[in-house]
Amino acid sequence: MSTEELVLKYISACEQVLKELQTTESPECIDSTKVKEIIEYAHAYVKDAKYYRQEGKFDVSLTSVAYCEGLLDALRLLGTVKFEWPKATSPRAKKRK
């Protein structure tokens, strides 16, 4: 798989998660305002990934979308959002099999 194809796969997965995620009741030690701020960062990283993809800078695009994925996974692990990665586009789909 080319870097460009990998970038498209990651961007698609992150965009779908950002549309479908649901925030949860944050634990007392986690400020819900900060959770929303982190979600905005995730949106910004996807936007950056799309921009750099259009510019042909696939390595930078991949890095940007990987940051987005990391933030989303961290929020899910903290229990502050709920989502599932799309099965067809999940970067981890092959690892699960």
Rounded Cα–Cα distance for residues 78 and 74 (Å): 6
Structure tokens at 17: 């998660």
- Fold type of domain 3-96: Substrate Binding Domain Of Dnak; Chain:A; Domain 2 (1.20.1270)
pLDDT tens digit at each of 97 positions of the chain: 899 998 999 899 999 999 998 887 766 788 889 999 999 999 999 999 999 999 999 999 999 999 999 999 999 998 889 999 998 655 555 454 4
**Strand, coil or helix: what is 81?**
strand
Report field, pTM of the whole predicted structure over 0.85: no
Strand spans (E) along the chain:
22-23, 81-82
Rounded Cα–Cα distance for residues 63 and 45 (Å): 9
pLDDT at 75: 93
Q: Which sequence spans correspond to the domains of the chain?
A: 3-96
Q: Which residue shows structure tokens 């989303």?
A: 72
Structure tokens at 96: 């699960």
